Amino acid sequence: MIVRTLHWTVPHYWIWGLPFFLFYSTRSSQFLHERPNQSLLRAFLCFLLFPMRRAISKFIESYLLWKLPLEKYGLRPEHPFEEDYASCQMAIMPEEFFPQADQGKIVFKRPSRWWFWKNGVEFEDGTRLKADVVIFATGYDGKKKLRMILPDPFRSLMEFPSGIMPLYRGTIHPLIPNMAFLGYVESVSALHSSELRSKWLARLLGEKFKLPSVEKMLEQTTNEIQIMKRTTRFYKKHCISTFSINHDDEICEEMGWTSWRKKNWVLEAFSPYTSQDYKEEREAEYKKKK
């Protein structure tokens, strides 16, 4: 297994006996992180709370280094855990992954250069590995496929200086008319946000509300991209993980929904949001019509 860039992985969603969502996926935990359209007071609080954010990241790293043999195999990243979470780079490690490595069935290599030879792969240090099959697990360029669909001049709008496609509410490109992008999701952590965006788009098409001006939409997307750039060095993906609840709050407010969806303030502060939290408004609307 050739590893080019090291990222933190977790074996499960529990850290030292605590559920993972407590650290990043509740309203109280996301209060520690920068978000779009925040006030100067909140920006100042985020600055003051930087040591707490770093302490949470170190707390998670300590568990992962204790639980997984990252040091043994040279797989310990140099960057903080929170940067991977903020860029949607965090992944769940298969249960039998490291036991297979302990048995010698998985071998790790970290070369900067490698090439093929007739029987497999050769590395820059001169070592060779015989291989029947080589799998390139490098991901794919979704924007490239979209550029092939769009005509000029809209094709050039897919590129942005940051490398991130600027989508308002993760759905509408402010400069491409009559087109929406559903399911443009970078992480499973944003799946319920994607479902909420679908409801938002359905109400937009039903003329239940109107979009803000192009300038306002571009300002919003630019703010989100700037936050990603300040939060993590891996900002080439559109990732809302550290402000996903605020993102969903703003979608709810545009649709005329209440943004606080829980039954009481304790749940609002310390429980994660899921797609189930956005069903009540639809049921309330249905009962009201009846």
pLDDT of residue 288: 52
pLDDT of 282 over the 70 cut: no
User: What is the pTM (predicted TM-score) of this model?
Assistant: 0.84
CB 251 within 8 A of CB 194: no
CB 232 within 8 A of CB 86: yes
CA-angle at 207, arms to 203 and 208, nearest 5°: 60
Which region among 75-84, 123-132, 180-189 has the lowest average model confidence (pLDDT)? Answer: 180-189
Q: What is the bridge-based pairing of β-strands 14-15 and 120-123?
A: unpaired
Residues whose CB is less than 8 angstroms from the CB of residue 49 and which lie 6 or more positions away in sequence, other chains included? 32
pLDDT of residue 19: 94
The domain spans of the chain are 9-130, 142-287
Q: What is the mean pLDDT of the chain?
A: 86
Distance CA 30, CA 52 (A): 12
Token pair listed for 17: 């006996």
Give the number of other CB atoms < 10 A from CB of residue 97: 15
User: Tens of pLDDT along 22-66?
Assistant: 999 999 999 999 999 888 998 898 889 999 999 999 999 999 999
Tell me which architecture the domain covering 142-287 has in CATH: 3-Layer(bba) Sandwich (3.50)
User: Tens of pLDDT along 113-168?
Assistant: 889 989 999 988 888 888 889 888 776 666 777 777 787 788 777 766 667 788 89
Residue 290: band (very low, low, confident or very high) from pLDDT cuts 50, 70, 90 = very low
pLDDT of residue 286: 43
Is there a cis peptide before residue 174, judged by omega within 30 degrees of 0?
Answer: no
User: Tens of pLDDT along 206-242?
Assistant: 999 999 999 999 999 999 988 988 898 888 778 888 9
* H or E element at residue 148: helix 142-149
Q: What is the DSSP letter of 70?
A: T
